[in-house]
Chain A
Amino acid sequence: MTSKKEGQFFDRLRGVTEDAGATPETLQIFDEAVSRRRFMGNMGVGGAALTLFGFGAGTDAAMRGLFGRGLIPAAWADESDALAEDAQSRAAWQQAGKDSDALLVHNARPLNAETHAHAMADEITPNSKHFVRNNDLIPQKAIDQDPSGWSLTIDGEVHNEIEITLDELKSMDSKDLVLSIECGGNGRANFDPQPRGNPWDRGAIGNAKWTGVPLKDILERAGVKDSAVYTAHYGYEPILGDRAPFSRGVPMEKAMEEHTIVAFAMNGEDIPATHGFPVRLVVPGWYGSCSHKWLNKITLRDQEHDGRGMTGYSYRMPKYPVAPGERPPEEDMKVGGPWLIKSVITGPKKDTGLERGETVKVTGHAWAGEDEVAEVWISTDFGLNWEKADLKGPPVNKYAWVHFEKELSFPNRGYYEIWARAVDDKGNTQPMVQPWNPRGYDGNVVHRIPVTVAA
Chain B
Amino acid sequence: MKRVFFLPLVAMTLGVFAAPAFADTDDEIQAKKQLFEQNCAACHSLTVATNQNLNRADWNWVLDDMEDYGLTWLTDEQREQIVDYLVANHGYGE
Binding site for B on A (CB under 8 A): 25, 28, 31-32, 35-36, 39, 50, 53-56, 58-59, 62-63, 65-66, 70, 85-86, 106-110, 193-199, 240-243, 325, 327
Contacts and interface: CB of A to CB of B under 8 A. Distances in A.
B74 interface: no
Chain A interface helix/strand/loop/mixed = loop
A243 B72 CA distance: 12
Contacts, number: 98
Interface in B56-94: 57-58, 61-62, 66, 68-72, 92
Contact of B45 (A54, A59, A108, A325): A108
A85 B45 contact: yes
Interface in B23-75: 24, 37-38, 41-48, 51-55, 57-58, 61-62, 66, 68-72
Interface of B: 2-7, 9-10, 17-18, 21-22, 24, 37-38, 41-48, 51-55, 57-58, 61-62, 66, 68-72, 92
Contacts of A197: 52
23 contacts: A31-B21, A35-B21, A53-B6, A54-B3, A55-B6, A55-B10, A62-B41, A62-B44, A66-B46, A70-B37, A109-B43, A109-B44, A193-B54, A194-B54, A195-B58, A196-B61, A198-B51, A240-B69, A241-B66, A241-B70, A243-B70, A327-B57, A327-B61
Contact of A32 (B21, B42, B72): B21
A327 B70 CA distance: 24
A107 B54 contact: no
A194 B53 contact: yes
Contacts of A63: 41
A198 B62 CA distance: 13
Contacts of B44: 62, 107, 109-110, 240
